[in-house]
Structure 1
Amino acid sequence: MVIDTLIFDWDGTLADSIGHIVSTMQSAAVAVGLPVPSDEAVKGIIGLGLPEAAAVLFPQRPDLAVPVVEAYRDIYLSDDQQAVPLFAGVRQALDDWREEGYLLAVATGKGRRGLNRVLGQHDLLDYFDATRCADETVSKPDPAMLHQILRQLGRGSGAAVMVGDSCFDIQMAHNAGVRAVGVSYGAQSRGQLEQLTPAVCVDRFVELAPWLSGQRAGSRGIGLERV
């Protein structure tokens, strides 16, 4: 089936925000009196919804899960005065794919308030055909987020690709029957992502376009042979 729907994670996939997330979570831990997690520990939960992330990072203090989530949100939104930059080539590629007729969507562990804020900062608020946030549905790696996006767009799983930088993105794609593409420049390494067998793993965002072109050309070729 020809790919015509591209679904992206936000943090670490489209936006260069991993460092900001790490420092914010560490500050939130300090604010509520929890041990400060390491950079790698925080990177390991990026992609989850905030409550799920807090449960993984601070299992010894479930009583502080809600306070640390609230502290994170307060710090993140108060510090986020300037837009976190998009990765090189992202905006041009998105524009090109829209011109080519792809449907574009975002499936993120961010909350709706946070996603709308960053989309607005980049003048992308009405840009995507569908978006879904962790506070609107079940957290990754459950497939609900992708199922809801595909249902909204009227597309089947075979027509879509999920692009993300975390193992949760790859697992969610597999759980939804959607092709998974890993990006190694975000939260987790190529080695970590490839353990979950994505269709491909790229080291730069600009490498996605040639891969997609090859997939589309291959699908068309198969269709012609069958005719």
Structure 2
Amino acid sequence: MTKQDDKRRKLLDRLSRQLAYTAPALALIAGGAAFQALAENSPTEAGVTKPHDTTLWLASAHAASDAEAEGEAEAKGEAEAEGEAEAEGESEAEAGSNAEVARPDDYIPNYAEEAGKNPDDLIARGEALYRDTSLSANGLACASCHGADGLNGYQDTFNNPYPHAVAMGSNQFGMASVHANEMVQICMVAPMGAEPLPWDSEELAALSAYVVDAQQRYAEEP
């Protein structure tokens, strides 16, 4: 082998060793650059999403889900609170209406009790008021529903002396039974749309006396 051939062999060996060292490094560098380029420039069409985009999307979806759950919980809480307040208001309103038409505590009637006989002049005063439309707020009088003689439009319970059950008192005011003057107040507030009469008034006493008289006449009819 000549010196020239030996020199060429040594040069080729040195180049081979350098290539052996540099090739993996170049491959690693090239692979990393390709991965970065793919991550940054890969298309998002057809459902392909960038890694960092995926992270952002997951975070956004999680935040939206939390906001929706919080909104639903808040709306539910408000609805429940509103329902409780409404129910409480209705209960208070019902209690107030009952207080308007129910006898006050320690009340002493200023007419003869239901089984007794009231004075004729008090009954006559009550009969005039029974036909008086000015007592109402809608042009009605007691006679509008119960006839000129006061004997129409009653349930079978009207055969019984007061206090007795009255459908209007039970359905609208939660009262199991009513006295004659409570019946007058119920009619004043409900069908006639007016304020209840003062409990110590002559008008309430006269109307109550007439209602007792009408009940007694109704029960005596065949």
TM-score (norm 1): 0.22
RCO comparison, higher one (Cα < 8 Å, 6+): 1
> Quick check: which has more Rg, 1 or 2?
2
TM-score (norm 2): 0.22
Greater percentage in helix: 2
Greater percentage in strand: 1
